[in-house]
Structure 1
Amino acid sequence: MCADDVQKAPVLETRGLTKEFRGFTAVDDVNLQVQEGHIHALIGPNGAGKTTVFNLLTKFLSPTRGEILYRGKSITSMKSNEIARLGLVRSFQISAVFAHMTALENVRVALQRPLGTSFHFWKSESSLDHLNDRAMALLEEVGLGEYADTLTVEMPYGRKRALEVATTLALDPTMMLLDEPTQGMGAEDVDRIVALIKRVSKGRTVLMVEHNLSVVSRLCDRITVLARGAVLAEGDYDNVSRNPLVREAYMGSDAAEEDGTGKEGAAV
């Protein structure tokens, strides 16, 4: 990380972020800083609090204590649709596209949201034709041009996840929050999604929860490691992977594995 990045104000920041559930602390005083233009990974063993942090950042949960800031402005009390309008757009661990619509139709629905017509399903299909060019451009951007007229239910799993990226891009995000983008994928699909994230991250900031440290090592500028809801370590891949506290956190987990490159990988 260069000295200039240290001096810049983070695009997304949490201060003392805490979430308690009936006495159980799922997220414990997390101070997170994501620099603009970075791909930043949030990793940790099962139960570390990664998805809870994501849910707090995207307002699917409200914090017990703490503050969330985006571009220096508190978004702690905002609703999820309000922060999406600011440019923070989230994808989900489970593919969230319409199975019985075509790829093109899925992207057109996403493109309607900024127009305030998302739920005007009584309008004729021809009323959406003006969105076709943009929808096709987004499909081409994620390598799905040939799938435009394919029902989503008939698409391979990895292509469905790419379609979800396209629908996320349709909301014109300045910051993308990706939840387990390579979960359940074979090696070929993983490589395709890694290349896709590299491509679409240009000019954007990405915060991702990821289970595969091989993916993290190839993509991420900075990594925050959570354990038992708290920040355990932070830094670039080389520093984090050598940290004895991080190794101990993964030790004995059936998630630890070799990624085939000589680097320690983990499914977290």
Structure 2
Amino acid sequence: MSTPTDYALEARGLTKSFGGFHAVKDVTLKVRRGSIHALIGPNGAGKTTCFNLLTKTLTPTSGQVLLDGQDITGLRSAQVARLGLVRSFQISATFPHLTCLENVRVALQSSQGTAFRFWRSLNSIKALNDPARALLAQVGLSGQEDTPATELSYGKKRALEIATTLALDPKVMLLDEPTAGMGHEDIAPITDLIRTVSAGRTILIVEHNLSVVSSLCERITVLQHGEVLTEGTYDEVSNDPEVITAYMGGVDDE
């Protein structure tokens, strides 16, 4: 029998209305601790809005968000990030003209609350080089420490973004379309990387590539028109007639 402490992240009756339009309506979501959980649905289903509500980029009209059983509904996005709920975005969010090492070091500074203390000695920043190199190695970017982010391939930019996310020491990672725009040659390495970095963490992922979802995710929640359509394993949801109909009839508005 499951208890509240079994879940790292929960949404309870989460709703976001814009005037009379419900972008997300009464969404209940339970992400089991230590799992990789997918949030999928046709275009316009409300997945991005749901992510924004979970990470407090948007304020819900009603409902609750809980992290490790703690109600974080009233907190700001920076506060929930400090509690360990960290999101990466669909579009790579690294600093293009900084090197890989510098990008990760900035994230490490932020996690330690020293990002804007410009009067600190350079030695205190250099002390972050070794942990930054270790994070780069973890995502397969050893030897790229001095490469500017703008010179990386698209797949390696996403790997760098995951490294900067890991630098914040997340308990729960929300990954928004991590393989979006990738060529076939980059998808498998990023999928393997997500599987590797999931050790000891909880991951909620929005991903259109269902082969990636099937290989990574233990549970899948399907949204349609801002509401939960169904939840289950990949085999269960992929064979659900309502899910098949939803994907065949999805509207391209998100």
Global fold match (TM > 0.5):
yes
Deviation at 1:184, TM superposition (A): 0.3
**Aligned counterpart for 2:142 among listed residues 142, 145, 149:** 145
1:105 and 2:116 correspond: no
Deviation at 1:126, TM superposition (A): 4.7
CA distance in 1, matches of 2:246, 2:42: 7
CA distance in 1, matches of 2:2, 2:40: 21
**Residue 95 of structure 1 aligns with which residue?**
92
Deviation at 1:119, TM superposition (A): 2.2
Contact 2:111 2:167 in 1 (8 A): no
Structure 1 consecutive aligned stretches of length 4 or more whose deviation exceeds 2 Å: 4-9, 119-127, 252-255
CA distance in 1, matches of 2:148, 2:119: 21
**Residue 223 of structure 1 aligns with which residue?**
220
CA distance in 2, matches of 1:74, 1:254: 34
- Cα shift readout 1:96-117 (whole Å, capped 9, x = no counterpart): 0000000000000000012221
Q: List aligned pairs for 1:41-120, cutoff 5 A.
A: 41-120=38-117
Contact 1:14 1:69 in 2 (8 A): yes
- Structure 1 pair 122–152 and aligned structure 2 pair: CA distance change class (3 A): farther
Q: Secondary structure at the match of 1:98?
A: coil
- Cα shift readout 1:50-85 (whole Å, capped 9, x = no counterpart): 000000000000000101111111000011111111
Deviation at 1:219, TM superposition (A): 0.1
1:238 and 2:231 correspond: no
Percentage of pairs with the same residue? 62
Contact 1:9 1:35 in 2 (8 A): yes
Unaligned runs of 5+ in 2: none
Q: Secondary structure at the match of 2:143?
A: helix
Q: Secondary structure at the match of 2:244?
A: helix
1:17 and 2:14 correspond: yes
Unaligned runs of 5+ in 1: 256-267
1:204 and 2:201 correspond: yes
The number of equivalent residue pairs is 253
Deviation at 1:253, TM superposition (A): 5.0
Query: Amino acid of the residue matched to residue 117 of structure 1?
Result: T
Contact 1:103 1:147 in 2 (8 A): yes
Which TM-score applies when normalising by structure 1?
Answer: 0.90
Q: Secondary structure at the match of 1:76?
A: coil
CA distance in 2, matches of 1:214, 1:184: 15
**Residue 31 of structure 2 aligns with which residue?**
34
**Residue 261 of structure 1 aligns with which residue?**
none
**Residue 183 of structure 2 aligns with which residue?**
186
Contact 2:9 2:172 in 1 (8 A): no
Query: Amino acid of the residue matched to residue 159 of structure 2?
Result: A
RMSD: 1.8
CA distance in 2, matches of 1:251, 1:233: 16
CA distance in 2, matches of 1:54, 1:157: 23
Contact 1:5 1:35 in 2 (8 A): no
Deviation at 1:127, TM superposition (A): 4.0
CA distance in 2, matches of 1:149, 1:232: 47
Instruction: Say which structure, 1 or 2, has more relative contact order (CA 8 Å, 6+ apart).
Output: 2
Query: Amino acid of the residue matched to residue 28 of structure 2?
Result: N
**Residue 154 of structure 2 aligns with which residue?**
157
CA distance in 2, matches of 1:108, 1:68: 30
